[in-house]
Structure 1
Amino acid sequence: MPPDLPPLAHGRPLARRRFLVLGGAAGLTALAAACSFVPRDPIVVPLSGDPRPLHVPPLARSELDHRGRRVFDLAAAAASTRFVAGTTTPTWGFNGTYLGPTLRASRGEEVLMRVTNALDEATTVHWHGMHLPAVADGGPHQVIEPGGTWEPTWRIDQPAATLWYHPHSHGETESQVNRGLAGMFLIDDDAEAALALPRHYGVDDIPAIVQDRTFAADGTFVDDGHNDAGLLGDTLLVNGTIAPYLDVSTERVRLRLLNASSARSYRFALDSDQPFALVATDGGLLPAPRTVDSVQLTPGERAEVVVALRSAERIVLRSLPQDLQAGSGRSRDWGAEDTFDVLELRAASALTASPDLPSTLVEFSPLDPADAVRTRSFRLSGDSINGEEMDMSRIDFAVTAGSTEVWEVTNGHSQPHNFHVHDVRFQVLDTDGVPREAERESWKDTVYLPPDTTTRIVMRFGHHTDVDVPYMYHCHLLYHEDNGMMGQFVIVEPGGGQGAVAHPGHGH
């Protein structure tokens, strides 16, 4: 992100106004105490004022070392960013002032990440959605002290997908992500490259990192407005841009949507009510494009969609009210009834032709729950899983390399949660016995858990074994994760047992 974003002109107020959707109350400005959400009214936030070109994070530079490894350099540092006219916001970024470059590597490549911490506090970098050894996972045990450099290396061994990277410091993840430490990590493979999908990065293949923030009068991010969910902002950023638009030069554009918010869920749809094609979820491509009119993403989830445009057309990607199955009052407190304009797509008067989408994408191999060697149960409630808060020195269980398991994950709250598992992709079987259409024939690493329900997922573990270094499983609402809704597991050889964490990282 450049040090100074184009400022909003004409003395536009610091934050876009919040419009109350209550019997003609539209037009009322946001309350000064925007951080208080109980009781809470729905908000509608249009792309008002002066829209600005969407910032597209650059592709990270890389080089091949003497061993043929693709080497990336990332440096986390403090900076300031001008999001709005007349103010600067203290931010953090990788190789820039806010967010980080897009990393890109191909299946089969060996990568080396040189991550330097130029901050004044410890951090970590987790490669969310990546299949890799636990020592390279970037969880809370792989601490990078101020001034230090961490150099994990691994071979990319998974299908093409949209992943991301972000801090995973125990107890500090929300704070560090909200200050700006996040970026996309794209995996390519031969199967995806052979398909007629938009793939010209920055032209018809666009990353869209969606976050919500609230700005104080001095330009700083408000970070003390937690409700039960965490932080809910009244201003959307896409790739760090407020009120963004994208000039589209092709008949179809591929949007790689990432919910990088702390707590807010989004239901993405087009203001024209036209359907679009869902082609991929967290773990990669679907077996065929799926025509949908909306896509819901909770924190940490990703989706790749392809939107068709006509010449000179303008379409707005929006986030519409959604059903979190939490009851109207609770859903409102969690932002489920809010409406945001996210990104305007502006088609050129003459568009370059795009090929029709293929009717099939990649083969899907369902995992058979009957092959599971074990079924585990997890209950999320309070700030704990199965009644225990995260303990950096405790390994909760061991799984066998190459084995299949079914996990039954219960949300024991009247409030929403979701669930992320490190290192593996999984398939969603059902919620309370009912198959979930949204996750049909797809690979996931993060899944929404409606209140007071049980969701079953099935997964097959890989062959990166380490008895002492654990992977994480946790709620990906970052406030919940930081408060202890997280556990640890290790992958071991058949017949092996778990070890002990030798040097627990920072945390409680």
Structure 2
Amino acid sequence: MAVAVFGIAAVGARVAVTVLRAPLDTRGTVTFDRELRIPALAESRVEDGVRVFDLTMQRGESDLGRGTATPTWGINGPHLAPTLRAARGEEVRVRVTNRLGEASTLHWHGMRLPARMDGGPHQMIEPGATWTPQWNIDQPAAGLWYHPHPHGETARHVYRGLAGMFLIDDDAESRLALPRRYGIDDLPMIVQDRRFHDDGTLDTSTSLFQSEGIIGDTVLVNGTPGPYVDVTTRTVRLRLLNGSNTRPYDFVFDDHREFSVIGTDSGLLPAPVPVRAVPLSPGERAEVVVTFRPGERVRLQSEPTPGGARFAGGSDHLEIAEFRAASDLGGVGTVPDRLVDVAPIPETAATVTRSFSLGGSTIDRKPMDMARIDEVVTAGATEIWSVANSGDAVHNFHIHDAAFQILDIDGDPPPRYLGGWKDTVWVPRDSTVRLIMTFAHHTDTEVPYMYHCHLLRHEDEGMMGQFLVVPPGTSTDPADYSARTGHHH
């Protein structure tokens, strides 16, 4: 009898899933009545040759379009964070003060830097404390981002509003004829979905039927609901960031116009790639350039994502933002044919191949353990990481301190717009993605970096591992190490 009851319950659950997660379609229902908010560029000062930023994590209230103030968290303000900007070759120091009333961290997603400065779960910042990482920026121009990374609490901290962009400039990018006036024709777009209670507070509840995490029915861009952009130039560069906890997007324009992808997570592409859609899973970024005609209005939307992902919201049609072109447009008119050199790393350069299996809430059937080192990498080594999704759910994969190239997806070369430097990659169900990377020379035999699924509930539940980067000639046996956990709760 118990078996029969269980069988009926299971069928009932599947039906309930279908009912509760019918695809959402907001096309034509969003009133674009708020100008897109552009995060301020963070102020900085130079002290003894070091560029210094001051950031304060704090609580506040924000108008997120609910007719009443929504309690939120932010950095140097009530919601989201200022955009940090620095140039390759600069030494930077960030003074991060925690006024949240609970411990958190701040992780520099996509940044290549020493493990102690990474802001992962081992660099907890206690309430009232200030953490001051300092590092030298040594990587190509890119649009990175920063967000908290406390183990088991990342989803909640990001969802409340702690996220911002970190732009890196370099000489190669600055020589190109690209739109680059911040907030005018070079726009950060932090795209996040949120759900609200009737009283305007954020709804962070999840049910049995949301195994992937929170899926919102309201899209915010830079914290703006129903945003419009007054376009004054022929071409506009959008720095798209999927800052959502769970949801993948497939960005398209409502007239299915062609636009150019010029960069991915960790840098520019060799040449612009014309596309009509660009999919991004949580944590991924794309830099795109779109051309507008005088006087037109066009909407950025999200279509159902390739490969399903229904229970992560991947079956939905969503309005994102409206662009309103002026009757007279100036600025850069075309995109350069060539961008920057991206030398493919030959497979023969790899000296180590590692395999990872994503399934349930674990990697290789081992839930995250703050005291366990899973992998040990030799500084300067080139490695291939083969990442498989066992098929039970939607996953992606982010590696700290590494910019990788995608070798293949189920044996096929990646689409051209994924032909550059990445730090986060979609791993479709029942698929294997092979990545190649050369690790930097920041070494530490105590403090690890992370690799994990960037669907934040999966990460919080244990789909994360730890790796050390150690000096050449040092043991690479994980059994010889345990993570320094002095800062962990």
TM-score, normalised relative to structure 1: 0.90
- 1:471 paired with 2:436, answer no
Q: C-alpha separation between the residues in 2 aligned to 1:451 and 1:154?
A: 37
Secondary structure at the aligned position of 2:380 is classed as coil
Per the alignment, residue 59 of structure 2 pairs with 78
Q: C-alpha separation between the residues in 2 aligned to 1:391 and 1:337?
A: 34
Contact map agreement 2:300 2:321 (CA 8 A) in 1: yes
Per the alignment, residue 291 of structure 1 pairs with 274
Per the alignment, residue 5 of structure 2 pairs with none
Q: Cα deviation per residue 1:306-355 (whole Å; 9 max; x = unaligned)? A: 0100111111011011222x4xxxx4333222011101011111111424
Per the alignment, residue 101 of structure 2 pairs with 120
Shift in Å, 1:83: 1.5
Q: C-alpha separation between the residues in 2 aligned to 1:397 and 1:354?
A: 47
Q: Which runs of 5+ in 1 are unaligned?
A: 1-34
Q: C-alpha separation between the residues in 2 aligned to 1:349 and 1:321?
A: 33
Secondary structure at the aligned position of 2:25 is classed as strand
Residue number among 78, 98, 108 corresponding to 2:79 in the alignment: 98
Contact map agreement 2:359 2:393 (CA 8 A) in 1: no
What is the alpha-carbon root mean square deviation over aligned residues?
A: 1.4
Per the alignment, residue 19 of structure 1 pairs with none
Write the letter of the residue equivalent to 1:288. Answer: A
Q: C-alpha separation between the residues in 2 aligned to 1:352 and 1:258?
A: 26
Per the alignment, residue 12 of structure 2 pairs with none
Cα 1:504–1:476 change in 2 (3 A) is farther
Q: How many pairs align? A: 467
Residue number among 126, 144, 155 corresponding to 1:163 in the alignment: 144
Secondary structure at the aligned position of 2:155 is classed as helix
Residue number among 43, 66, 72 corresponding to 1:61 in the alignment: 43
Per the alignment, residue 337 of structure 2 pairs with 359
Residue number among 270, 283, 290 corresponding to 1:300 in the alignment: 283
Write the letter of the residue equivalent to 1:290. Answer: V
Shift in Å, 1:36: 7.4
- 1:409 paired with 2:387, answer yes
Q: Which runs of 5+ in 2 are unaligned?
A: 1-15
- 1:138 paired with 2:94, answer no
Shift in Å, 1:438: 4.9
Per the alignment, residue 337 of structure 1 pairs with 315
Write the letter of the residue equivalent to 1:213. Answer: R
Q: Cα deviation per residue 1:222-270 (whole Å; 9 max; x = unaligned)? A: 1012511111100000000000000011111000000000000000011
Write the letter of the residue equivalent to 1:314. Answer: R
Per the alignment, residue 346 of structure 2 pairs with 368
Identity %: 55
Per the alignment, residue 157 of structure 2 pairs with 176
Write the letter of the residue equivalent to 1:64. Answer: V
Shift in Å, 1:37: 7.0
Runs (4+) off by over 4 Å: 35-39
Q: Cα deviation per residue 1:267-297 (whole Å; 9 max; x = unaligned)? A: 0011111100100000110000111000000
Q: C-alpha separation between the residues in 1 aligned to 2:20 and 2:157?
A: 28
Structure with the higher fraction of residues in helix conformation: 2
Per the alignment, residue 224 of structure 2 pairs with 241
Contact map agreement 2:191 2:222 (CA 8 A) in 1: yes
Per the alignment, residue 147 of structure 1 pairs with 128
Contact map agreement 1:262 1:299 (CA 8 A) in 2: yes
Q: C-alpha separation between the residues in 1 aligned to 2:369 and 2:288?
A: 38
Secondary structure at the aligned position of 1:43 is classed as coil
Secondary structure at the aligned position of 2:458 is classed as helix
Secondary structure at the aligned position of 1:236 is classed as strand
Q: Which moved more, 1:94-103 or 1:489-498?
A: 489-498
Write the letter of the residue equivalent to 1:147. Answer: G
Q: C-alpha separation between the residues in 2 aligned to 1:204 and 1:50?
A: 19
Secondary structure at the aligned position of 2:214 is classed as coil
Write the letter of the residue equivalent to 1:435. Answer: P
Q: C-alpha separation between the residues in 1 aligned to 2:387 and 2:331?
A: 46
Secondary structure at the aligned position of 1:86 is classed as coil
- 1:503 paired with 2:485, answer yes
- 1:197 paired with 2:175, answer no
Per the alignment, residue 414 of structure 2 pairs with 436
- 1:380 paired with 2:361, answer no
